[in-house]
Amino acid sequence: MAGPVLAVRELSKRYGKQEALAGVDLEVEAGQLVGLLGPNGAGKSTLTKIACGLVRPSGGGVEVVGQPAGSPEARAALGYLAELFRFPGWCTADELLRFHQRLVGSAGGEVERRELLDLVELGDAAGKRVEAMSKGMQQRLGVAQALIGSPRLLLLDEPTSALDPVGRRIVRELLEELRRREVAVLLNSHLLSEVELICDHVAIIAGGRLVKAGTPEGLAGPAAVEVETASGVKTFEGAVREDAPRIVAELVAAGEQVYRVEVRHSSLEDVYLDAVGGQTG
């Protein structure tokens, strides 16, 4: 079995006295879509930048397709869209993609450029200058740029922050398509609902440490069964859906009158808030 596409081991990073990452472990397999969550300043972007070779780690290491992060082989295997990015305003969407094709050595030519622009629904904007595009269009162009050369790993740092709901849907569908193509994706996002919707796996970072990881369903497990009776609302913590009939039967047997039963699930937001302890950057 092939190893993980992205392997983060005991990763730490210090900026002077500030500890941005303190021993983070994380793996992303081929075709896996991992959501990286955390408050501002938690270390998400630093982790992504180390994986890209933009930032040097203070300790531990990152491997991309088995190669040290920052090596030419690792760089050739990844696509990256930064949270804060800018493309030369004077060049057109097509020129930008052509430039990146030359940087990557992609032989995809016009077919690849057209396919990628169509994928992010910018097919009609191939000849449009970047400076004439809205921020949302530029962000979608950024996603297309990151996909030049068919990378095995895609690192996206807040790729939908400037997008409207339609733009977000486009990117969401694109990510699902990438999953089908076995591309590994690490997605930094503050949009919990989005992460919950599309990610196979979620990792929550707070204070430079990985505080929680798992599938969205696993993390956001059932929390309680709530029953409204004549004597008030009774909450059965830890009870699941299957426990509801038994709980109701026991209450009725005990002489209670039951008016409403609700199986409560904790959302990813609850899990997140619980994990980060109300931290915000």
Partner 1 sequence: MSGGQLRSAVAVVGLSIQEGVRKRVFLAVLVLTAGFLALFGLGAHFAFDDVDEFAAGVPGVLDAHAFTGATIFGLAMFATLFLGAVLAVFLTLGVVRGDAESGLLQPIVVRPIGRTTMLLARFAGAALLSATYVVLVYLAACAITEATGNWSPDHLLGPALGLALAVAIIAALSLLASTLLSVTAQGIVVFMVFGAGLTAGLMAQIGTAIDSDSLHQIGRIASWTLPFEGLYAASLHALISDTSGLTGVILQLGPFGGSEAAGTGLIAWAFAYLAGVLALAAFVFARRDL
Q: Which residues of this chain interact with partner 1, rule CB under 8 A?
A: 15, 49, 52-56, 72-73, 75-76, 78, 80-82, 84-88, 90-91, 99-100, 102-105, 142, 145
Pairing of the two strands 33-37 and 201-206: parallel
**CB nearer partner 1, residue 105 or residue 127:** 105
**What amino acid is encoded at 223 in this protein?**
A
Please state, as a whole number, how many other Cβ atoms lie within 10 Å of the Cβ of residue 249: 11
> With contact defined as beta carbons under 8 Å apart, do 134 and 163 qualify?
no
CB of 191 to partner 1, least distance (A): 20
Specify whether the CB–CB gap between 112 and 140 falls below 8 A: no
Q: Quick one: 37 or 148, whose CB is closer to partner 1? A: 148
C-beta of 226: minimal distance to partner 1 in Å?
A: 48
In the complex with partner 1, the residue whose CB is nearer, 138 or 229, is 138
Encoding tokens for residue 187? 């997605």
Instruction: In whole angstroms, give the CA distance from residue 144 to residue 79.
Output: 9
Task: Report the SS3 class of residue 213.
Answer: strand
Minimum Å gap between C-beta 102 and partner 1 is 4
Name the minimum Å distance from CB 86 to partner 1.
4
Q: Which residue, 145 or 188, has its beta carbon nearer to partner 1?
A: 145
Of 2 and 84, nearer to partner 1 (C-beta) is: 84
> What is the smallest separation between the CB atom of 200 and partner 1, expressed in angstroms?
24
HEC string for 39-101: CCCCCHHHHHHHHHCCCCCCEEEEEECCEECCCHHHHHCEEEECCCCCCCCCCEHHHHHHHHH
